[in-house]
């Protein structure tokens, strides 16, 4: 991509959200809708609620549960996915189990999770981990299986096997697909964090949004939704930065190719 195209893309990335915010503010400035309060009112409530006031009581617990569930899911997905990708027999044996569990709607497991873990953080971490594991697991299996046969033959000729082959050939080849699965799982983690906090909870962003709706504090509800959007954007930006650093070699190899 040329420098002018990069500048144009960066400008659009900034200009489009600003334009949407301006249109939103203009169209709601004189509105008196109970369901859709003006942007000014929402921003005022956002400042009062989320600029440090409720961060310790709602934001930090939510992010801690998200990080725990997401981290557990990623470790398990890669630890299980690599052996399954290396063995076609193991993959075929595990396929029915994987397809069965990943087809279960996550909200249907909330009663089970409450029965087993109670209504504390354990239930929420379990729900997040259970849902996040599948995209990364499947992408890990596909990434490991997509090893170029030429690279495999070269490793065999040079007698590179075991841990060395896994570390220097198999995993680097699978990393782009693994990161693609991790990105999808991150979005699901944020969604399930909110859903799990709306059921039998007394803290968290999801709990706050639901309680605001129940108490007809609609501006507070929209402020919580705005916070979720900003958190999602920030998490994706952090993930993209990490991905670009880790996969920098991959982008350079593709560019040189």
Structure tokens at 98: 């994987």
Residue 33 domain-assigned (yes or no): no
pLDDT at 256 (0 to 100): 57
Torsion of CA 42, 48, 51, 55, to 10 degrees: -100
pLDDT surpasses 70 at 120: yes
Question: Which of 206, 209, 230 minimizes the C-alpha distance to 218?
Answer: 209
- pLDDT digits 0-9 by tens, 234-248: 999 999 999 999 888
Q: 143: domain range?
A: 39-256
- CATH code, 199: 1.10.3720.10
pLDDT surpasses 60 at 1: no
Q: With bands split at pLDDT 50, 70 and 90, how would you rate the model's confidence at 183?
A: very high
DSSP characters over 102-131: HTS-GGGGHHHHHHHHTTSHHHHHHHHHHH
- Asked if 117 and 123 count as a contact pair (C-beta separation under 8 A), the reply is yes
Residue 70 domain-assigned (yes or no): yes
- pLDDT digits 0-9 by tens, 56-113: 999 999 999 999 999 999 999 999 999 999 889 999 999 999 999 999 988 889 999 9
217 burial level (CB within 10 Å; 0-12, 13-18, 19+): middle
H or E stretch covering 236: helix 218-246
Residue 15 domain-assigned (yes or no): no
Q: How many folded domains does the chain comprise? A: 1
Question: Which of 52, 74, 21 minimizes the C-alpha distance to 229?
Answer: 21
**71-100 per-residue burial string, b: 16 or more CB within 10 A, e: under 16:** ebbbebbbebbbebbbeeeebeebeeebee
Opening angle at CA 175, ends 169 and 180, nearest 5:
160
Residue 20 domain-assigned (yes or no): no
Q: Report the C-alpha gap between 17 and 229 in whole angstroms.
A: 12
Total-model pTM: 0.88
Q: Report the C-alpha gap between 137 and 98 in whole angstroms.
A: 9
Residue 161 domain-assigned (yes or no): yes
Structure tokens at 195: 């859903």
* Ranges assigned E (strand) in the chain: none
Q: Report the C-alpha gap between 19 and 97 in whole angstroms.
A: 47
Residue 12 domain-assigned (yes or no): no
Residue 21 domain-assigned (yes or no): no
Which single residue is written with the structure tokens 């990335």?
13
Q: Report the C-alpha gap between 128 and 110 in whole angstroms.
A: 11
CA distances (Å), origin 40, targets 19, 129, 255: 16, 37, 46
More confident residue, 209 or 252: 209
pLDDT at 2 (0 to 100): 64
Residue 18 domain-assigned (yes or no): no
pLDDT at 257 (0 to 100): 53
């Amino acid at each position: 991509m040329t420098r002018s195209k990069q500048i144009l893309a960066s400008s659009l990335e900034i200009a489009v959200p600003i334009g949407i915010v301006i249109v939103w503010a203009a169209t709601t400035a004189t509105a008196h809708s109970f369901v859709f309060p003006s942007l000014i009112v929402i921003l005022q409530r956002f400042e009062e609620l989320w600029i440090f006031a409720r961060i310790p009581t709602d934001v930090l617990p939510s992010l801690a549960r998200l990080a725990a569930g997401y981290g557990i899911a990623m470790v398990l997905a890669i630890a299980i996915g690599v052996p399954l990708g290396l063995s076609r027999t193991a993959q075929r044996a595990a396929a029915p189990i994987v397809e069965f569990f990943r087809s279960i709607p996550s909200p249907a497991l909330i009663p089970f999770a409450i029965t087993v873990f109670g209504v504390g953080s354990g239930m929420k971490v379990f729900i997040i981990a259970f849902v996040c594991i599948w995209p990364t697991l499947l992408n890990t299996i596909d990434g490991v299986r997509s090893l170029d046969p030429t690279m495999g033959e070269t490793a065999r000729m040079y007698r590179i096997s075991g841990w060395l082959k896994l570390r220097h050939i198999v995993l680097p080849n699978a990393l782009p697909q693994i990161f693609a699965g991790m990105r999808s799982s991150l979005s699901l983690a944020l969604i399930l964090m909110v859903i799990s906090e709306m059921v039998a909870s007394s803290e968290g962003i999801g709990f706050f949004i639901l309680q605001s709706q129940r108490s007809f504090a609609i501006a507070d509800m929209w402020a919580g939704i705005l916070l979720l959007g900003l958190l999602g954007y920030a998490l994706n930006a952090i993930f993209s930065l990490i991905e670009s650093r880790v996969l920098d070699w991959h982008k350079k190899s593709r560019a040189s190719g």
